[in-house]
Structure 1
Amino acid sequence: MKSPTGMRMRLALTHHRNLRYALLAACSALFLVLYLLTKTPVPYTYDKLTDEENKRYNSQATMNQWPGQCQIKNFEQIRRMSIVYTWVNGSQPCYRQIREKAGGKKAVGGSRDREIGELMYSIRSLEKNMPWHTGQIFLVTAGHIPHWLDMNNPRIKVINQDDLFPDYAKKFLPTFNTHVIEQFLYLIPGLSDIFMQVNDDYMFLKPIAPHEFFTCDGAIRLLHEKGLISHIPPPPKKGIWISSVLNTQQEMDLRWGKTDRYFIKHAPFVYSRRAFERVHQIFDRPLYMTLKSRFRAKPDMNMPLLHHYYMVSQGGEELGIPIYTPPAEELTGYKLILMQNNNIDKLKKIFGQILDGSTPYKVVALNDEYTDMRVADTAIEFLQKYLPEPSSFERKPGSGTVRAYYTQAWLVRSGSDDFAADSRESGCCTNVPSDCVPRAALGGIYKFAITWHGARPRRHYHVPLLFACTAPLQGAHTLERCV
């Protein structure tokens, strides 16, 4: 016969065991709920406005800024969005040599990489005609800093494009393929979720209201052309750009089925950083294959297309970001200007209309496809006349020289105590082609002994660059400021 004490002990043990099971089940359920919450996309509500911000963006002054236009929801958040410029100084000898080494004789660069100062004038036009924007400006470069840029301006930051590449992609460096570089813009540290990409050849000609890019309820306006993209695979004779678009269309058809999709307008793109993350998850294989092309190639994926039609097909609902695709007939304020050898007279006419205020366009893109430098001279003359006033992002006269000379250079490994200098004043070799090598081939941090113009003593600067000189060299050689 079982004793009462033994039965009580067994009941207590059973109760204790059941209690543990119940606690374990409750903890498991809690962890499952937390996991699902972290994996479920959170609707994008910008940030909650403070009372002061609510008062400011609802103020009469803001309403009067754009007569006849509605109040844009969460305008204070929109005006603080990041703007990303991509730029390369293709006129730099060392950069050209690295490019030619990577691609052989076919990697000539052409006018696409020729530096005639469009970036400086583009930023002037941005500041002049979009004064409502108060957010950060990021300049993504191949290791160059424009000689005119004021690096002390807190609103602008230069990013070395190589630093954006994840570990799995670094083996494909150096790259000169904009389709590849654009893939990783969303990894810029400090980038806002909603951001705008602007090419260095875009010029804002007239005051641009935020309504150009957002609707009254804060939806992103996806700007497109009238033309539909074909669903037929690209014929062999098609060019690189259109082949890339058609190949991207093939991938989208596999994912979302065949439906009408339009060519994207040659205009500033408004992106979502979180949409880039999802596009990488959905199209991981074709995007990875694009990494293998150091220069633009026909099989490349077109990131603007992937982003925009992801947002149309599922991203808007998935991420909680409203979108709007306006009729192409409404989008008449944008113009792609082809600067070619045989259209100098036409260019002068277009530039003349802009100068006298008779142009109907708000934003133009100066697409350079010339070899005749008279075309460049025509464009430079126009830009100097149209945008003569410097922006707040330019160095003030007399604030110091930009070029410098160095006496020798050598390799310094990461972790050294010798590279604590200001990276904004770094240099990269340009006139010693035999000693310019890809950064990816050497690794590490590079250090230069630099003698600046004037009485400034020689100092050492570390140079995290795409390329650098590694052998000790004698004499004075020109340096450019670099990231």
Structure 2
Amino acid sequence: MQSSTMVRMRMVLNQRRNLPILLVGAVIAWIIVAYMLQSLPAGHTYDALTETEAAQLVNAEMEELFPGKCKIKNFDTLRRMSIVYTWVNGSQPCYREMRMKHGGKHAVGGSRDREIGELKYSIRSFQKFASWHQGPIFIVTPGHIPNWVDLNNPRIKVINQDDLFPDYAKQFLPTFNTHVIEQFLYLIPGLSDIYMQINDDYIFTKPIEPHEFFTCDGGIRLLHENGLISHKPPTEKKGIWISSVLNTQQEMDLRWGQQDRHFIKHAPFVYSRRAFERVHQIFDRPLYMTLKSKFRGKPDMNVPLLHHYYMVSQGSKELGIPIYSPPQEEMQGYKLILMQDDNIPELKEIFDGIIAGTSPYKIIALNDEYSDMKVADTAIEFLSAFLPEPSEFELKPGAQPHPLTIRKPETCEIDETILAPFPRRVESSQKFQVVAFREVRWAAFVTSLLKGLGMGTGLMIAYVFYLLVLRQKKSPKSSTSAYDKV
């Protein structure tokens, strides 16, 4: 038996004179909800370009920047690649003390660890002559901070190298071995998949195009020397560097068989982050054994060589990254300069040619082999004359200076307040967690609420339409006199 309330509701709905009022009210409610949704701010939205439009825009820009050169397929991504520098200020007392403790009196470090400002000038030269680059720069150090770097610039970040070491490798800290540090650069948070490592002693001397490092289909150009690496194991008389190269060759022969492999050119290295993940899987044991060397040693694995020939042997196919080994005539303009005590006149001649614009070199590497500070003075004089303009990454005049190391001078303990905390790796349970400002959360709540009200209003209109039209057509007509008696 129906209640009196339900009976009266049906009587109202069955009276056609109330139909326009109900429909008009529902439409007005719908219009109000739509207006409120439309009036909400949506600064985060934009009209996205189609893939074709985006490609056309990038191609037009490349044509303007590099006339006559091919259009690199994924140039818009590659121009935002990460740049990685490794740097040491060997004059820091705590650093020298740690070297002495772990390496003895002959491990204090020589000219290679002396700070004459190469890093600052390297970045100046890169920004000047590779102005197409728009990505971030990471400076990986043993807790040292260059006195000129602007830590507030969002495009540059100083990272303590110890933070990069995974748990299994932390037992070998501290380390002074570049072969070890280079193993874990790919673990920098926020690092692009394709990134470039530049030594702090590299100076760009002429405009350099992305075509120097990338192929037209967006692949990597693998720069190498003309000389081939021997397949014979190193002898006792061999030096540290060549011994590590020959040991790496032995490991690659075991994996891929004996093949012709060239020495790697002394130039910026273009790496794939995903490639290093595979390199660690394939050469896990020899890389782990390298961790045990506090300083560079003969048994070490040569990391650039491993990456280079992994890409050649299987990485390109596995990762879908094209590679190209150019002929020697396409790899001219790189110069390794040995700065020695007895070659100051030769250095001045090279430096004068670079300043005058008559030098054939586009990238030089200043390899420190001196003990006479007159050699350093010659280099500093050249760098300051050739690159006088500061980069955007340097402190402005009058800016507040910052500490030069993360270690307390009294105890050499780490002060964790100096550098920004190292980003935590995201756990799987947190991967999809949304963190937003209060205003953003409120806007999202209001939007969801209004959408819910709009959906509810629409369902109400549909239900009223069903009751008044569809259901009435199906139901047999009957007199309402029975209801009038209630």
| TM-score, structure 1 as length reference | 0.75
Q: 1:68 to 1:464 in 2, by over 3 A?
A: closer
Q: Percent identity?
A: 72
Shift of 1:55: 3.1
Aligned residues of 2:143 and 2:405 also touching (Cα < 8 A): no
Equivalences for residues 294-309 of structure 1 within 5 A: 294-309=294-309
Higher helix share: 2
Aligned equivalents of 2:115, 2:239: Cα separation in 1: 24
1:429 corresponds to: 408
Shift of 1:52: 5.3
Aligned equivalents of 1:293, 1:149: Cα separation in 2: 31
Residue identity opposite 2:307 in structure 1: H
Aligned equivalents of 2:72, 2:388: Cα separation in 1: 32
1:169 corresponds to: 169
Per the alignment, in what secondary structure is the counterpart of residue 428 of structure 1? coil
What does the per-residue CA deviation read over 1:104-123, in whole Å, with 9 as the maximum and x for residues that have no partner? 11203111110000000000
Structure with greater Cα Rg: 2
1:196 corresponds to: 196
2:385 corresponds to: 385
Gaps of at least 5 residues in structure 2 are 1-48, 422-486
The alignment status of 1:101 with 2:101, answered yes or no, reads: yes
Aligned residues of 1:53 and 1:76 also touching (Cα < 8 A): no
1:321 corresponds to: 321
Shift of 1:236: 0.5
The alignment status of 1:56 with 2:57, answered yes or no, reads: yes
Shift of 1:67: 2.2
1:111 corresponds to: 111
Aligned equivalents of 1:402, 1:462: Cα separation in 2: 8
2:398 corresponds to: 398
What does the per-residue CA deviation read over 1:280-316, in whole Å, with 9 as the maximum and x for residues that have no partner? 0000000000000000000000000000000000000
Aligned residues of 2:145 and 2:405 also touching (Cα < 8 A): no
Per the alignment, in what secondary structure is the counterpart of residue 335 of structure 2? strand
Aligned equivalents of 1:258, 1:363: Cα separation in 2: 32
Aligned equivalents of 1:146, 1:203: Cα separation in 2: 17
Shift of 1:159: 1.0
Residue identity opposite 1:139 in structure 2: I
Equivalences for residues 88-237 of structure 1 within 5 A: 88-237=88-237
2:45 corresponds to: none
Choose between structure 1 and 2 for higher RCO, CA contacts under 8 A separated by at least 6 residues.
2
Gaps of at least 5 residues in structure 1 are 1-47, 404-424, 440-444, 448-460, 466-483
1:375 corresponds to: 375
Q: 1:49 to 1:342 in 2, by over 3 A?
A: farther
Aligned equivalents of 1:49, 1:260: Cα separation in 2: 45
Q: 1:49 to 1:390 in 2, by over 3 A?
A: farther
Equivalences for residues 326-365 of structure 1 within 5 A: 326-365=326-365
Aligned equivalents of 1:186, 1:120: Cα separation in 2: 23
Per the alignment, in what secondary structure is the counterpart of residue 153 of structure 2? coil
Residue identity opposite 1:53 in structure 2: A
Residue identity opposite 2:316 in structure 1: G
What does the per-residue CA deviation read over 1:88-143, in whole Å, with 9 as the maximum and x for residues that have no partner? 11111221111111101120311111000000000000110111110111111110
Aligned residues of 1:426 and 1:463 also touching (Cα < 8 A): no
Residue identity opposite 2:343 in structure 1: N
Aligned residues of 2:234 and 2:246 also touching (Cα < 8 A): yes
Aligned residues of 2:226 and 2:328 also touching (Cα < 8 A): yes
Moved more, 193-202 or 324-333: 324-333
2:433 corresponds to: none
2:435 corresponds to: none
Aligned equivalents of 2:339, 2:227: Cα separation in 1: 22
| TM-score, structure 2 as length reference | 0.74
Shift of 1:370: 0.8
1:366 corresponds to: 366
Residue identity opposite 1:335 in structure 2: K
Aligned equivalents of 1:325, 1:266: Cα separation in 2: 15
Residue identity opposite 1:428 in structure 2: R
Aligned equivalents of 1:86, 1:233: Cα separation in 2: 29
